[in-house]
Amino acid sequence: MTKHSATRPAGSAARLTPLAAGLPSSVPFTGPEELERRRNAPFAARLGANENGFGPSPRALEAMRASLDGIWQYGDPASHDLRNALARHWSCEVDNIVVGTGIDGLLADLVRLIIGPGDNIVTSAGAYPTFNYHVTGFGGTIHTVPYRDDSEDLPALIAKSGETGAKLVYFANPDNPMGSYLPGDRIAAALSDLPEGTLLILDEAYAELAPAEAALPLPIDDPRVIRMRTFSKAYGLAGARVGYALGAAGLIRAFDKVRNHFGMNRTAQAGALAALEDTAWLPHICDEIAASRQRIAGMATANGLTTLPSATNFVCMDLGADGARARAMVAALAEEGVFVRMPFVAPQDRCIRISCGPEDQMAQLEAALPRALARLDLSA
């Protein structure tokens, strides 16, 4: 293949880069909408995507509705109002914050900034796959370490980064898919071993739902770490796609080199700002989610199963077997109209992962769970 040639998709005049041509046609997750199309029926309970079924702040919805008359306008490329509000919220400078299209979009921008063909990254085997998806898309090489006791092993991740010369280390706190968390002071202590020139990505998508001790007790502008937060989980705005990253000003400014400057929807910006300012709604949601976690744990006990402790808006239910049984359980629940997911690497794949939700969703799960288990037992 010459430097001017590349693979063309069938029926297309486009010439893909050699890197793109060698990648599989895949997405990190199959969405529930696609699963509903395949089964020719909607799900009665949507409990697999870790969305916040309790919904966003009423003030956020009001702000979004009020913004619709201006939807003909592009969103503010600087997200000025939202970034300033976030700076006040975090007691940091505006230059320490970049807003993007959810953590997924920010991960794509960060990987584009830092990873080229052959560059190394380190992550946990079975951790959030979208990061790996972006790394592969830019030609990076992925090195993994296993979970330890259903938690990401941060010291092992950092050690592996020293062995491989990794430019990025990915670590989620709390963790997806297991729901565990590491106290922030232990993260800060582990960073003392982070190699020079390695950046820790601290994915804090679920941090608003975690105990206070999970917070990282380091300055926002610590150059060793970039923190990523979202309005998709606790704030209930997953469909609006608003996330932000906190970090050293020089790194945050670099996002302007690659980000989609008109990617932010102005209605989403208005909703996120109102959600942040509605300080009474977030504790209410945290209480609702905590009660739902207990509800799911009770269902597990009633059916002879156990659950893992969770600091998130989902619960891992341990089926006590292996990945084959968990996959069968996901399929059996889908036949009952309940959408759930599961971890995809052993031994965590012995579990199914169930999102918290309001009572009507919990009632559907409670009725479906024993029927699905009975179907599995009959087919065993």
Per residue in 106-146, pLDDT (tens digit) is 999 999 999 999 999 999 999 999 999 999 999 999 999 99
Radius of gyration of the chain (CA): 21
Q: What is the pLDDT of residue 380?
A: 61
If residue 107 lies in a helix (H) or strand (E), which one and from where to where?
A: helix 102-114
The pLDDT tens digits for 54-91 are 999 999 999 999 999 999 999 999 999 999 999 999 99
Assigned CATH for 58-277: 3.40.640.10
**CA 131, 135, 136, 140 torsion-angle sign:** negative
Provide CATH 3.90.1150.10 ranges for the chain.
30-54+281-379
Provide CATH 3.40.640.10 ranges for the chain.
58-277
- CATH 3.90.1150.10, applies to 30-54+281-379: yes
What is the DSSP-derived secondary structure letter of residue 195? P
Specify the pTM.
Answer: 0.95
CB neighbour class for 72 (10 Å; exposed up to 12, middle 13-18, buried from 19):
exposed
CB neighbour class for 325 (10 Å; exposed up to 12, middle 13-18, buried from 19):
middle
Half-sphere exposure of 312 (CA within 13 A, CB side): 29
| Strand-strand pairing, 120-124 and 97-100 | unpaired
Pair of tokens at residue 75: 């969103």
Q: How many angstroms separate the CA atoms of 141 and 84, rounded?
A: 36
Q: Residue 3 — very low, low, confident or very high, per pLDDT cuts 50/70/90?
A: low
Average pLDDT over all residues of the chain: 96
Give the rounded percent of residues in the chain with a pLDDT score beyond 90: 93
